[in-house]
Amino acid sequence: EQTIEGDSKSFTMNYVDWRNPDRNAFHVVVEYGVERSRSTETARPDIVLFVNGIPFCVIECKAPQIEIEQAVSQSIRNQSDDYIPKLFIYSQMVLALNKNSAMYATTGSAAKFWSVWKEPQMKCGECEYEKLAACVNQPLSVEDVANIATTFGVRPECFTGNRLVTEQDKTLFSLCRPDRLLELAWKFTVFDGGLKKIARYQQYFVVKSILSRVKQFDDNGVRKGGVIWHTQGSGKSLTMVMLVRNLVLDSEIPAPRIILVTDRDDLDKQLGNTFAACGLAANSATSGRNLLELIERKEAGIITTLIHKFDKAYAVKKYQDDSPDIFMLVDEGHRTQFGSFAAQMRRMLPRACYLGFTGTPLLRKEKNSFAKFGKLVEPHYSIKQAVEDSAVVPLLYEGRHVEMTQNKEAVDLWFGRYTQGLTTEQQADLKRKYARAEMLNKADQVVYMRAFDISEHFRANWQGTGFKAQLVAPGKATALKYNAYLNEIGMVSSEVVISAPDTREGHEETDDEPTDEVVKFWDTIAPHH
């Protein structure tokens, strides 16, 4: 604020021109000396990239024979309170490099959150790769060669000839070219509960693909949607946050309205909390009537809701909003889009853009995620890719078979007694029903034998190691049986974790109808949670 002759005026200063990268000044400083905290000594990061005089990126470089983890460790040390923390106040990105590998993170990231960057388009023979190869082999001026040779003690002949593109080159080209560096800082860096987080490569590229997709319209003037297939643990919630941020900042999309749709109360709260922690306030629909009010007012930029509330909202009023600038972000889109609730949602918002986020898309003829939302938005992110990137741990499968014997005569005798009065056809139909795998898996004797086998296996392999085990049952009633038998056998202790026996669950074949035992169990534990 400035006061001249009693007249006070304040001005907004834009330190970075985000929309026009070429209008900024970019500088590279090598071995930038910074005085350490509480000391007269200096620390010298290898390379610092400045944007308009602001240190945007700090890079630690190592020789090819030195592990990249040493560069990561050094970068984390430099950010600590007794080194040079002030250099990193405005820094948006930190890199660790050697010739053959590279990792990146944002400031404040622990070592386990440093990631590799992969450029899907950068393949040998493609234009991006050729552009990079030309860049790294661009002849330097005589003056530049002399300066580099003097500063670093490198022989001039090292700068002649064609050299191969390295991983170090690829990462610098992908992350540090001016337009990409500014874009990552502006649109793909969020604060999640005070923790600064930057996009992983799969998040960045899928958001870019979504933006390109939703700007296309079909013959009815509806924006094209699609399926975003990213495996569990790959950060789908933050991908949604970054997508919403990009939609809001996109000048080609006027006043977008976003509705986040889930099918479980805990997911709704989790998603709402994630958006709030990232500085994007979302209006949570408390009821079907409240959802209707939020949509009708057209003021709420972001709404979170459970899908069943569309049914209640449409029952209150047969309302339709035909705006093409409503974006429906459906979490776990494979679960909820084939029943009446989804139909009511699409009746209310017939021209909205539907984007389904899932780790397990359905491909069945009668239930196909792509038929509901549109084509797959590439790049997808599979479990294999997530394991390769160390984003998730591998799941190792060991097939186990619990030996069981059948007393055919006793079973037939029991069956005959209980089916007296039924016709031959009715008896055959009943046999087929109870011979199905899903019915056999719930039988008491089967559950008991498997509970015993699980107990023995856990005691022999894991008991006393500090690890726990998770047992997934085919239904809530069966989960209660497993818990009872495991505790009865006594080799291990167990507890049951289930969601409430909501009558809403059964309609989308997520669970069986709640039994008396399940309701009784829930009534017992609910007051304590």
Question: Which CATH number is 111's domain given?
Answer: 3.90.1570
- Given a cut of 70, whether residue 433 has pLDDT beyond it is no
- Given a cut of 60, whether residue 347 has pLDDT beyond it is yes
In this structure, of 67-76, 97-106, 140-149, the range with the lowest mean pLDDT score is 140-149
- Given a cut of 60, whether residue 452 has pLDDT beyond it is yes
Statement to judge: residues 170 and 196 lie in one domain: no
Average pLDDT over residues 351-373: 74
Average pLDDT over residues 172-191: 94
**pLDDT for 254:** 85
Instruction: Select the highest-mean-pLDDT range: 65-69, 272-276, 437-441, 509-513.
Output: 65-69
**pLDDT for 106:** 96
**pLDDT for 25:** 97
**pLDDT for 510:** 43
Average pLDDT over residues 263-273: 79
Statement to judge: residues 344 and 455 lie in one domain: no
Statement to judge: residues 116 and 55 lie in one domain: yes
**pLDDT for 444:** 80
Statement to judge: residues 343 and 291 lie in one domain: yes
Task: Count other Cβ atoms within 10 Å, centred on residue 60.
Answer: 23
Alpha helices in 41-166 (DSSP H): 68-79, 127-136, 142-152
Domain boundary among 152, 183, 214: 183
The answer, as to whether pTM is greater than 0.85, is no
Place of tokens 């049952």: 473
- Given a cut of 70, whether residue 431 has pLDDT beyond it is no
Determine, yes or no, domain membership for 503.
yes
- Given a cut of 70, whether residue 412 has pLDDT beyond it is no
Statement to judge: residues 192 and 262 lie in one domain: yes
Statement to judge: residues 261 and 358 lie in one domain: yes
- Given a cut of 80, whether residue 353 has pLDDT beyond it is yes
**pLDDT for 441:** 55
Average pLDDT over residues 179-199: 93
Determine, yes or no, domain membership for 194.
yes
Q: Domain range for residue 30?
A: 21-183
- In 3D space, the residue among 153, 127, 145, 48 whose CA is nearest the CA of residue 95 turns out to be 48
CA 179 to CA 297: how far, in whole Å? 38
| Helix count and strand count (H, E) for the chain | 19, 17
**pLDDT for 57:** 97
Statement to judge: residues 179 and 198 lie in one domain: no
Determine, yes or no, domain membership for 484.
yes
Q: How many domains does the chain have?
A: 3
- Given a cut of 80, whether residue 413 has pLDDT beyond it is no
CATH number of residue 312's parent domain: 3.40.50.300
Statement to judge: residues 234 and 377 lie in one domain: yes
More confident residue, 335 or 465: 465
**pLDDT for 315:** 84
**pLDDT for 38:** 86
Average pLDDT over residues 503-513: 46
Statement to judge: residues 199 and 134 lie in one domain: no
- Given a cut of 80, whether residue 229 has pLDDT beyond it is yes
> pLDDT > 70: what percent of the chain?
85
Instruction: Select the highest-mean-pLDDT range: 8-22, 130-144, 195-209, 486-500.
Output: 195-209
Contact 339, 172 (CB under 8 A): no
- Given a cut of 90, whether residue 149 has pLDDT beyond it is no
Determine, yes or no, domain membership for 10.
no
Buried b (16+ CB within 10 A) or exposed e, 221-253: ebbbbbbbbbbeebbbbbbbbbbbbbbeeeeeb
Tokens representing residue 311 in the block: 């049914």
Buried b (16+ CB within 10 A) or exposed e, 257-273: bbbbbbbbeebbeebbe
**pLDDT for 394:** 84
Instruction: Select the highest-mean-pLDDT range: 70-74, 258-262, 494-498.
Output: 70-74
Task: Please give the DSSP secondary-structure letter assigned to residue 417.
Answer: H
Average pLDDT over residues 342-369: 78
**pLDDT for 505:** 43
The string of DSSP letters for 165-198 reads: PPHHHHHHHHHHSHHHHHHHHHHSEEEETTEEEE
Determine, yes or no, domain membership for 68.
yes
In this structure, of 100-104, 324-328, 386-390, 506-510, the range with the lowest mean pLDDT score is 506-510
Q: For the chain, what is the radius of gyration of the CA atoms?
A: 30
With H, G, I as helix, E, B as strand and everything else as coil, classify residue 357.
strand
- Given a cut of 90, whether residue 34 has pLDDT beyond it is yes
- Given a cut of 80, whether residue 416 has pLDDT beyond it is no
More confident residue, 209 or 331: 209
**pLDDT for 139:** 84
**pLDDT for 503:** 47
pLDDT per position as a tens digit, 49-60: 999 999 999 999
More confident residue, 249 or 3: 249
Domain boundary among 166, 183, 200: 183
Average pLDDT over residues 214-230: 92
Domain boundary among 183, 203, 234: 183
Statement to judge: residues 143 and 101 lie in one domain: yes
Statement to judge: residues 335 and 193 lie in one domain: yes
- pLDDT level of residue 177 (50, 70, 90 thresholds): very high
Determine, yes or no, domain membership for 104.
yes
Buried b (16+ CB within 10 A) or exposed e, 155-185: eeeeeeeeeebbbbbbbbbbbbeeeebbbbb
Determine, yes or no, domain membership for 3.
no
- Mean pLDDT for the chain? 84
Determine, yes or no, domain membership for 509.
yes
Statement to judge: residues 493 and 383 lie in one domain: no
Secondary structure of 236-297 in the HEC alphabet?
A: HHHHHHHHHHHHHHCCCCCCCEEEEEECCHHHHHHHHHHHHHCCCCCEECCCHHHHHHHHHH
